Amino acid sequence: MRALLFNLTFYTTTLFMAALSVPVSALGGTRAIRWLFHKWSSATVWLVRHVLGARVELRGLEHVTGENRPALLISKHQSELDIALMGSIFPDYGAIAMRELDNYPLVGGIVRKLGHIKVSVEDKARNQLPEVLEGSRRVHAEGRPILIYPEGTLMLPGRKLRYRGGAWHIYNELNIPATPVALSLGLAWPRRDWKKYPATCAMAFLEPIPPGLAKAEFMALLEERIETASNAMIKEHADPERLSKLTFDYEEKGSAWNVSP
């Protein structure tokens, strides 16, 4: 019953906010849209906590607040909940986002105004790295955090794809620290799943990786930190029955970026 009530209130709220974005975007511009995105993000987190009944923990905030505001966030991606949590903390972030979202009804106008860094999933054959780096330089120059999902898609708890090297190229081009972000949010809100759970889950901002590492070393360290911390939180939060059904790819297969000592 909680999950049903949450879905009804979440999608109603989202539809209302999306419709509201049309006049807000026309009259108020980018600042107003970011304010609206922040309100949607905060409302979503509130619904997860108070309607769904999930306990959502934020860890490692000392790594991303005050003078430690991040330049580059590299995160697992498990559901819309991690988007909402990021938006509630950093409503001005610039993410690597699908260009195709620009053409979505209602959502397209919001995405365009938020000033994300666009890549096309329909044009994979073309080298889009120069556009990504150009967009990253723009977002960084504006003093906004850059957000990238190195696996490029939503993942189930415990599952892993090969981390793509685009994260290193941004880190290297801008010569900035990279803050890894680990998640167990999929325990409460699994990817593309109508069913939600009143589970305990967390988003953890890990110790930043300082600039200057070579690609293989950086990617191996990034993957080790994110996957190890994510799997530890999943095991901490999942009940025994659910835990027995999960597969932990990193523990079984290791990293694709192993670096010889």
Main-chain phi, psi angles of 212, to 5 degrees: 110, -5
- Across 20-24, 63-67, 74-78, least confident range: 20-24
pLDDT band at 167 (very low <50, low <70, confident <90, very high): very high
What does the pLDDT look like over 90-134, one tens digit per residue? 999 999 877 766 666 666 667 777 888 887 766 665 778 888 999
Check if the beta carbon of residue 221 is closer than 8 Å to that of residue 178: no
Tell me: pLDDT of 48 over 80.
Answer: yes
Type of residue numbered 178: A
CA distance 256 to 147: 22
pTM: 0.92
Average pLDDT, the chain: 90
What does the pLDDT look like over 124-162, one tens digit per residue? 657 788 889 999 999 999 999 999 999 989 999 999 999
Reference 6, options 99, 108, 80; nearest CA is 80
Burial 160-177 (b: 16+ CB within 10 A, else e): beebebbbbbbbbebebb
Residue 39: helix, strand or coil by DSSP?
Answer: helix
Q: Which residues pair with 178 in a beta bridge?
A: 209
